[in-house]
Amino acid sequence: MKAENHIDESEAKIIAEKLNVDFVTFDISEFKEALNVELDAEIKEGEIRPEDDLTDKELAGIGRVTLAHMHSFKD
């Protein structure tokens, strides 16, 4: 997927499955929204260019950072 496109729910589910996410404190839509916030932040910071194709490894990395943030800021 291109970085400039937002992660949809089916892609969020794939990322969650790869990271063994259990949806106890948040649901898939909250995870998807948080993934897109993190993706936008990485684009803004220049970590990722909008026209880049994201690899599974990059998406998993975004997922791990997102989970860390979600667990740190549960509210």
> What are the extents of the domains in the chain?
9-72
Q: What is the mean pLDDT of the chain?
A: 90
| CB-CB contact of 28 with 63 (8 Å) | no
The pLDDT of residue 71: 84
Signed CA dihedral, 23, 29, 30, 31: sign only: positive
pLDDT tens per residue, range 47-64: 888 888 888 899 999 999
pLDDT tens per residue, range 36-49: 999 999 999 988 88
Amino acid at 31: F
